[in-house]
Structure 1
Amino acid sequence: MNDSLVIIPTFNEKDNIRLIIDAVINLPKPFDILIVDDGSPDGTGEIVKEIQVAGLPNRTLHLIERQGKLGLGTAYIRGFKFAIEKGYDYIFEMDADFSHNPKDLLKLYEACTTGGSDVAVGSRYISGVNVVNWPMGRVIMSYFASIYVRFITGMPVNDTTAGFVCFKRIVLQTIDLENIKFIGYAFQIEMKFTALKFGFKISEVPIVFTDRTRGKSKMSGSIFKEAFFGVIKMKVDSLFKKYVPA
């Protein structure tokens, strides 16, 4: 077993899954991979099983199959628990669609192993706006969403909604994962906010985010609604909560 696990949630990613696994396993540092598949009707899980049977050199490919589309946040929570049980030291979140460059896993790993960070965030906004192939309206919405979150929460993080993250195991062991409430992209905000409340150090690593070229986006209006109103409730609730390690 390697010291690092990359968690990749999937739903209907048959066009990307084999390619993203190949890209991760061909990095110079070995990363194990966990696919959390929400019952993809397009056969994503079956492709992962085929790769498992073939085997990977010096890497382990895990698969957790769930029944139905249960949400991004719950997929990561399931993956975090798996990583803790298996004893991985560094646990990564990454999308399956190449919006996150697998080569940047190395930068996040370095930030946590030698850079003194407990949480390393692959940031689109730490050095300008580094987004490729998004419509301008979505770029503006995402950028100002992070400004809004920073204003409400006081988080010193430029890319609060980023989904390309490395956590040290101690962070996930300290946070009570059962009390993480959000299931959409607001989950990313809640995890960073909670880590900061427990006193962990978060750093941002500049990346270029490239919109998917294969498959279909899972973004929806309900996801933005959860984030917009949920952030206010999260902040208010934090004023009456003691952050005691789980």
Structure 2
Amino acid sequence: MSRAVGVRPGAALGRVLVVIPTYNEADNVAPIVGRVRAAAPDVDVLVADDNSPDGTGVLADALAAADGRVHVLHRPGKQGLGAAYLAGFGWARERGYDAVVEMDADGSHAPEDLPRLLAAAGDADVVIGSRWCRGAKVVDWPLRRLLLSRCGNLYARLALGVPVADATGGYRVYRLAALDAVDLGSVCSQGYSFQVELSRLTHRAGARIVEVPITFAERQRGASKMSAMIVAEALWRISVWAVQDRRAARRRGVRGAGDARVRWP
């Protein structure tokens, strides 16, 4: 694999920020932040709240007031998961963090798995907490959700050539150098497709991506943000990216053949 990013094996991870997007997660924000702080005391936490009408942002402010490692980013309204993570990445970069973690607020991503993900990042640019690699476990999902996720990930892998089992997984560690190697300004997708797009872009940039098995559990409190529109967006965008990548590969092939003819003695 090309190593345009090129982490050194065993390289220190540095300062780590866990970004937790929230919208109407009043029942979950305090428990998830508390679990993160207990599982990984040396990391900082950023709650990126999209002006939740249920008071999630106010609760997050109280957590930040009581703990100097907890911070809150108040956003003007519901703009989507991808936009929240991009804002969190920018917040981390401005403050000199070396790595960021994506984590859902609903408890489906167990903070207790975080130390293993951070340890794996010592030899990787991107770490995905995977639901579909060997040793992973998914709890309390109906068969329809299982099939949808497995088939969607298989389609993403075959269509885009990204060699990961869980391209849609949202529990991740990124070194900032890996994010700086891609054009984040071009990213406009949300939900599942945001995770697939970041997988595609970092892979194309030469990042070393590794997967760590996790136990993924369905949320116990609050309402899921998943919808048919999010799934449809993901499938549509994956198809568009696949066509774009094949066209780009053909153009490179034509240019390469032309260059070869010019250079031929």
Q: Match for 1:240 among 248, 254, 265?
A: 248
Deviation string, structure 1 residues 20-69 (Cα, Å, up to 9, x no partner): 1111111254110011111100000000111122234xxx2111111221
Query: Do the aligned residues in 2 keep the contact of 1:37 with 1:64 (CA within 8 Å)?
Result: yes
Question: What amino acid does structure 2 have at the position aligned with 1:221?
Answer: A
Q: Residue 40 of structure 1: which of 52, 55, 63 is its match?
A: 52
| Structure 1 position 64 matched with structure 2 position 73 | yes
Q: Which of residues 33, 36, 39 in structure 2 aligns to 1:21?
A: 33
Q: CA RMSD in A?
A: 1.6
- Which of residues 205, 221, 225 is equivalent to 1:214? 221
Residues 29 and 106, structure 1, Cα contact 8 Å, conserved in 2 = no
Contact kept, 8 Å, 1:152 with 1:232, in 2: the verdict is yes
Counterparts of residues 138-149 of structure 1 (less than 5 Å): 138-149=145-156
Following superposition, the deviation at residue 107 of structure 1 comes to: 0.9
Q: Are 1:84 and 1:173, in contact at CA under 8 Å, matched by a contact in 2?
A: no
Counterpart of 1:31 in structure 2 is 43
Supply the distance in 1 between the matched residues of 2:49 and 2:212 (Cα, whole angstroms).
Answer: 28
Is the CA contact (8 Å cut-off) linking 1:132 and 1:208 kept in structure 2? Answer: yes
Letter in 2 for 1:240: A
The 8 Å contact of residues 23 and 102 in structure 1, kept in 2 or not, is answered as yes
2:248 maps to a residue whose letter is F
Contact 1:150 1:160 in 2 (8 A): yes
Q: Indicate which of 174, 180, 184 corresponds to 2:191.
A: 184
Q: C-alpha separation between the residues in 2 aligned to 1:128 and 1:61?
A: 32
Q: CA 1:42/1:106 → structure 2, altered by over 3 Å: closer, same or farther?
A: same
Q: 1-side partners of 2:88 and 2:114: how far apart? A: 17
Q: Secondary structure at the match of 2:39?
A: coil
| AA matched with 1:41 | P
TM-score norm. by structure 1 comes to 0.92
Output the CA distance in 2 between the equivalents of 1:118 and 1:54. 33
Amino acid at match of 2:115: L
Query: Are residues 1:199 and 2:211 paired?
Result: no
Partners of 1:132 and 1:176 lie apart in 2 by 35
Specify the code of the residue in structure 2 equivalent to 1:105: L
Deviation of 1:231 after TM superposition, in Å, equals 0.4
CA contact (8 A) 1:72 1:185 kept: no
SS of 1:131's equivalent in the other structure is strand
The unaligned stretches of length 5 or more in structure 2 are 1-13, 252-265
Paired position in structure 2 for 1:108: 117
Q: Is the 8 Å Cα contact of residues 135 and 213 (structure 2) preserved in structure 1?
A: no
Amino acid at match of 1:31: V
Whose helix fraction is larger, Structure 1's or Structure 2's?
A: 2
**TM-score, normalising length from structure 2?**
0.86
Aligned pairs for 1:116-131 within 5 A: 116-127=123-134, 130-131=137-138
- CA 31–123 in structure 1, closer or farther in 2 if over 3 Å, else same: same
Q: Does 1:94 align with 2:108?
A: no
Q: Secondary structure at the match of 1:240?
A: helix
- 1:153 — aligned with what? 160
Question: 8 Å contact 2:117–2:129 — kept in the other structure?
Answer: yes
> Deviation above 6 Å: which 4+ runs of structure 1?
none
Shift of 1:174: 1.4
In structure 2, the CA distance between the partners of 1:224 and 1:112, relative to structure 1 (3 Å rule), is: same
User: Which SS does the other structure have where 1:41 is aligned?
Assistant: coil
> Corresponding residue for 1:50?
62
Q: Deviation string for 1:100-131 (max 9, x for gaps)?
A: 11011111111112xx1110000000016621
Residue from 7, 15, 28 that aligns with 1:3: 15
Native 8 Å contact 2:130 2:136 kept in 1:
no
Q: Structure 1: give runs of 5+ residues left out of the alignment.
A: none
